[in-house]
Structure 1
Amino acid sequence: MRIIRTISYIARADFLERIRQFAFLVILGLTLLAAYFFVPPAEAAYVTLDLDGYRGIYNSAWIGGSVAISTTLLLSLLGFYLVKNSIERDETTGVGQIIASSSVKKLYYLFGKWISNFAVLSAITVAVMAASVIMQWVRGEERVIEWWPLVSPFLFLTLPFMSVVAALAVGFETTRILKGTLGNVLYFVLYLLFTAGSGVMPFGPDLIISAMQKDLMAISPQSSGSYGMGILFPEKPLRLFEWQGVDWTWPLLSQQLSIGLAAFVLIAAASMLFHGFRETGYAIRKPKRAGTGLADADNTVFDLQKEIGHPVSGVYVSMLPPVVIRDSFLTLIHAEWRLMMKDAATLRWLVIASVLFILGLAVPISVSAEWKIWPAVWIWPLRLWSGLGSRDARCGTQYLVASSPRYATRQLSAMWISGVMLTCITGGGLLLRMLLEGDCKHILYWTAAVFLIPSLALACGVLTGTGRTFELVYLIIWYLGPFSRMPYLNFLGTRNSETSAGNLLITNMVYLLISMGLLTAAYLSRRRLDQD
């Protein structure tokens, strides 16, 4: 009982702390919005699940199955970045050191954190389940609610995956090399592999889609068995069929519940990698000469008396030398640059950045776009960009820095300029190559990207107080746009297609306007902090 009580206390405290955060409401709203769009109206021009020209009638089984698929895919990505900060928060607030001094074992502590993460993701899932009931009534094709076909896909598909996501978040935080930006990027890659292979995973979303296709084959044997999922625009309206849901046999239930058991294994492995909370503090320098601190203080007082020519006890403000204020904006930019580049003070980072610079300079632009060199150049500094705007909040110095004159304009401008400098330097090889080739088209894209990336990083950092938001948003945009060459998101211009001069200028002007909007949002947010 004592073990259960200890774990429950840790989980409850962390859960209550999380649901009060603004990020929880944002992820909840995005998930509900995605669930709404994943059940389009019957007269809508788009569909989200196309089974070879068919879709199911909007009954409880189809609504539950399709929304559970979308929730699993979306929340597996957003949910990880939402809950991956519980151990870090305890470490920065000093709660971890208090826990380390108690009798709480590491395994119990991690189990409590895992239960809290799972509870947060489960709360969002339950909200989507409730919204699914409303969606069935709103769409109006079948108003009779059948609870088991509606709820069972969430219970045996979404929740088991959420338990693994919650365990991975804890596991990444307990591993030093994975607790930062590298872990966030690695999980994004794992997520892409999961979504790409979900069609061949018998325990993933293909479990429900296979059951749908099986019932479809019974009424339409000529069906090819292909399907499409996402925002699709069919050339002709889809035909309807009735699907009664998944037949949850015991072997199938055992298979899905085993996913949840994998979470226990991950937590047990994480407890062996977790070294607990080590007390951190400032190093105390040894005095350069022998003597106590009191003697050093006496020497300081003597020097002060010698400087002003009066005893310290009789010092007035008018006797002190004038204060020299060094209001140098260049000094502030240099300080922000040093703080930003502190995370890159490793030979490995500099070597890889140099290699990417040389490749951008040596390889022709058309080849570098085809070989994904350009996207690689501007994904490598991700860790450095993510610190823009959020470093003060992470270090707890935002109110100290806010006391400086013209805090909002000077500080944000220095951060943004340092980010622009980093973007220019890392992409300098590409720019030189474009100048050699006289490629004005890509020079415009290069210029827009130089302004857009630091602006996005600064706005995300200021508005959310964490670097994970920028890392997630930029990774999604970077993958869909420059890497996969999706129109409108491809702000690097890596798509090999002819674009008119007018459209090219309009596109880059839009990117610059977005940059200005992001900077304005960051400035207004900092102005509120300055006024407080």
Structure 2
Amino acid sequence: MNAMRAVIALLVADLRQRLRTPRFWLLIAGLAGLMWWCFPAVDRDYLTVSVGEGMRGRYSSAWIGMVAALIYSSTLSLAGFYLVRGTVVRDLETRTWQLLVATTMSRGGYLLAKWLSHMVVFGLLVGAGLAVGLVAQVLRAEDLRIDLVELVKPVLVLTLPSLALTAAFAIWFDLVPWLRRSAGNVVFFVVWVMLLSFGVSQAEQAPGAQLPWPGDPHGLLVAEYDLSHAWPMVDAGKELGLSIGKQALEGKAPVLLDWTQWAITSATMQARSAWLGLALLLLALAIPVLDRCAAHVGSPGKAHGDGARLRWLDAVLSPLQRSRFGALLAAELRLVLRPRKAWWWLAILTAMGVQAFAPDKAVAVAIIAAWILGMDVFARLVLREHETHTAALVFTAPRMRARMLWVRTIVVVGMAWIVTLPGVLRLAAVHPQAALATLATGISLALWGMATGVLFRNGRMFELVVLAAAYVGVQGGLLLNVVIAPMTTLQWHLLGLPLALAILALGWRRLEAR
């Protein structure tokens, strides 16, 4: 009972820390509002979840729950990681862990409370989304019978194990020292992409085929196999595929079928229980390494050693020391570049070399890679005083607030341009529009990174968006790929710049006033 009280107390304290800001509730409302897009009217020209060729269920409680479960299982398992991670790091860096470890609280109880806190946040998001789904069911009026059991069943079976695994990953990525910041955000994105395709290669879409155990972490195969068995009006031998995401109907009307109940099989329960068990196992494996990881809050000596190898930087920056503004700019550049490890410099030089000498198709990918390597600076540089609680000391100098904002803007924009300089020079000779798009995208990334940093008080949301855009860009999509449709990319980034500047100007004063 004492252990349970400690877990509950820590859980409540952690939730109060999360839920006390209006920003969090606005985020919950915004993400829930996006669920409305997932329930298009019958006269709209797209579907978000379909079975077969343009078929979906009428908006019954069961189909509403299935759509919400599949959308949240696949997307919230990614976005949720960036939303909830950081609480363990906060305890370690603020030395709260040293107080907690002095109590009778067990290590397992501490990690369980953090994991449960993540799950409660996920529950709030999913609950708000289901409420939007019920509103859609009433307003679309395709099936007005409300069945709360069928509404919640897909979420519990499909989404719960997926989010439980994400919550366990969030604990581990907060514990492992080198995964606590931007590097961990990149690694998790790669892990999520790999998990999204896990088990898909073993899938057979023919009706009657057996589910390859244990399916995939997000439950997409489970849903596809169960729907292939129970989907009405299917011709014998016809293969069915489950499609999630926006699918254009190209003028065709969707085929609406009655689907009011999901009959869960024992194979489905065993498969989903396996993934839930894996999440709990990962949480248990973190207990023995908690103390060792907690001891690694920082390594000042290592940082000093890394900086000593960059003596050339002082010579490069010495001309800037002749003015107060230049001295401040040089200081910011040193703080940004000195902590960089050898692998980072090697990766940047490799990306710049590819931009200069590789085939044309590789230039756009190398430019995206260079921006990824610098994205932690874009979002986190503006937060230094906020994270170190040194604003009261730094901003005592006259007009330091405005000068610091200008200096950091120059640093982040300059970095976005310098790491892509070989690509810009090469594109300027053969594809001038792409070169202009590269410059515009660089300044847009820099300013949006700073703007989202002051808006959300961390860089995780920006890093999530950039990683997703980079993944799409590597596949040939717009936004970060400056070679494909460069003028469209240029226009989109220029249109967004005024909003980024407004958010940055307003958020900077509020951020540093705290």
Could you state the TM-score of these two structures normalised by the residue count of structure 2?
A: 0.85
Secondary structure of 2:249 counterpart: coil
Q: What residue is the counterpart of 2:335 in the other structure?
A: 339
Matched, 1:4 2:16: no
Measured after TM superposition, the shift of residue 128 of structure 1 is 2.2
Q: What residue is the counterpart of 2:367 in the other structure?
A: 374
Give the Cα–Cα distance (whole angstroms) in 2 for the partners of residues 133 and 184 of structure 1.
34
Pick aligned residue for 1:439 from 431, 446, 471: 431
Matches within 5 A, 1:55-94: 55-94=56-95
Pick aligned residue for 2:326 from 323, 327, 330: 330
- In the TM superposition, what whole-angstrom CA distance separates every residue of 1:53-79 from its partner, at most 9, and x where no partner exists? 311111111111111111212211121
- In the TM superposition, what whole-angstrom CA distance separates every residue of 1:477-496 from its partner, at most 9, and x where no partner exists? 2222x322224x24x4132x
Matched, 1:486 2:477: yes
Where structure 1 has 5 or more consecutive residues not aligned to the other structure, the ranges are: 285-325
> What amino acid sits opposite 1:391 in the alignment?
R
Q: What residue is the counterpart of 1:323 in the other structure?
A: none
Matched, 1:395 2:395: no
Measured after TM superposition, the shift of residue 266 of structure 1 is 0.7
Matched, 1:351 2:351: no
Give the Cα–Cα distance (whole angstroms) in 1 for the partners of residues 21 and 163 of structure 2.
20
Matches within 5 A, 1:428-507: 428-435=421-428, 437-480=429-472, 482-487=473-478, 489-490=479-480, 492-495=481-484, 504=487, 507=489
Give the Cα–Cα distance (whole angstroms) in 2 for the partners of residues 518 and 202 of structure 1.
38
Give the Cα–Cα distance (whole angstroms) in 2 for the partners of residues 350 and 281 of structure 1.
21
Matched, 1:185 2:186: yes
Secondary structure of 1:387 counterpart: helix
Q: What residue is the counterpart of 1:262 in the other structure?
A: 278
Give the Cα–Cα distance (whole angstroms) in 1 for the partners of residues 55 and 300 of structure 2.
68
Q: What residue is the counterpart of 1:42 in the other structure?
A: 42
Structure 1 residues 205 and 438: alpha-carbon distance in aligned structure 2, compared to 1, 3 A threshold: closer
Q: What residue is the counterpart of 2:360 in the other structure?
A: 365
CA RMSD of aligned residues (A): 2.7
- In the TM superposition, what whole-angstrom CA distance separates every residue of 1:22-54 from its partner, at most 9, and x where no partner exists? 453244224312321111112222211232131
Measured after TM superposition, the shift of residue 463 of structure 1 is 1.6
Give the Cα–Cα distance (whole angstroms) in 2 for the partners of residues 131 and 362 of structure 1.
52
Q: What residue is the counterpart of 1:521 in the other structure?
A: 503
Measured after TM superposition, the shift of residue 196 of structure 1 is 3.7
Secondary structure of 2:245 counterpart: strand
> What amino acid sits opposite 1:195 in the alignment?
L
Secondary structure of 1:50 counterpart: strand
Give the Cα–Cα distance (whole angstroms) in 1 for the partners of residues 247 and 298 of structure 2.
55
Give the Cα–Cα distance (whole angstroms) in 2 for the partners of residues 432 and 406 of structure 1.
37
Give the Cα–Cα distance (whole angstroms) in 2 for the partners of residues 189 and 279 of structure 1.
25
Structure 1 residues 202 and 279: alpha-carbon distance in aligned structure 2, compared to 1, 3 A threshold: closer
Give the Cα–Cα distance (whole angstroms) in 2 for the partners of residues 530 and 110 of structure 1.
32
Structure 1 residues 21 and 516: alpha-carbon distance in aligned structure 2, compared to 1, 3 A threshold: same
Measured after TM superposition, the shift of residue 280 of structure 1 is 7.3
Give the Cα–Cα distance (whole angstroms) in 1 for the partners of residues 361 and 511 of structure 2.
46
> What amino acid sits opposite 1:161 in the alignment?
S
Structure 1 residues 48 and 257: alpha-carbon distance in aligned structure 2, compared to 1, 3 A threshold: same
> What amino acid sits opposite 2:245 in the alignment?
G
Pick aligned residue for 2:226 from 211, 220, 227: 211
Measured after TM superposition, the shift of residue 441 of structure 1 is 1.9
Measured after TM superposition, the shift of residue 223 of structure 1 is 4.2
Measured after TM superposition, the shift of residue 367 of structure 1 is 4.5
Q: What residue is the counterpart of 1:132 in the other structure?
A: 133
- In the TM superposition, what whole-angstrom CA distance separates every residue of 1:85-141 from its partner, at most 9, and x where no partner exists? 111121233312211333333222111111111122122222223332222112111
Q: Which moved more, 1:56-65 or 1:131-140?
A: 131-140
Measured after TM superposition, the shift of residue 418 of structure 1 is 0.7
Pick aligned residue for 1:244 from 260, 271, 296: 260
> What amino acid sits opposite 2:277 in the alignment?
L
Is contact 2:222–2:268 with CA below 8 Å preserved after alignment? Answer: no
Is contact 1:343–1:384 with CA below 8 Å preserved after alignment? Answer: no
Give the Cα–Cα distance (whole angstroms) in 2 for the partners of residues 463 and 334 of structure 1.
26
Structure 1 residues 366 and 263: alpha-carbon distance in aligned structure 2, compared to 1, 3 A threshold: closer
Structure 1 residues 428 and 219: alpha-carbon distance in aligned structure 2, compared to 1, 3 A threshold: closer
Where structure 2 has 5 or more consecutive residues not aligned to the other structure, the ranges are: 204-214, 302-321
Is contact 1:448–1:512 with CA below 8 Å preserved after alignment? Answer: yes
How many residue pairs align between the two structures? 477
Is contact 2:33–2:129 with CA below 8 Å preserved after alignment? Answer: no
Structure 1 residues 507 and 156: alpha-carbon distance in aligned structure 2, compared to 1, 3 A threshold: closer
Give the Cα–Cα distance (whole angstroms) in 2 for the partners of residues 405 and 442 of structure 1.
42
Give the Cα–Cα distance (whole angstroms) in 1 for the partners of residues 132 and 222 of structure 2.
23
Matched, 1:511 2:512: no
Structure 1 residues 423 and 219: alpha-carbon distance in aligned structure 2, compared to 1, 3 A threshold: closer
Is contact 1:107–1:271 with CA below 8 Å preserved after alignment? Answer: yes
Is contact 1:340–1:387 with CA below 8 Å preserved after alignment? Answer: no
Is contact 1:337–1:418 with CA below 8 Å preserved after alignment? Answer: yes
> What amino acid sits opposite 1:259 in the alignment?
W
Secondary structure of 1:230 counterpart: strand
Larger Rg: 1
Measured after TM superposition, the shift of residue 219 of structure 1 is 4.1
> What amino acid sits opposite 1:427 in the alignment?
T
Structure 1 residues 150 and 431: alpha-carbon distance in aligned structure 2, compared to 1, 3 A threshold: same
Q: Which moved more, 1:211-220 or 1:413-422?
A: 211-220
> What amino acid sits opposite 2:280 in the alignment?
F
Secondary structure of 1:55 counterpart: strand
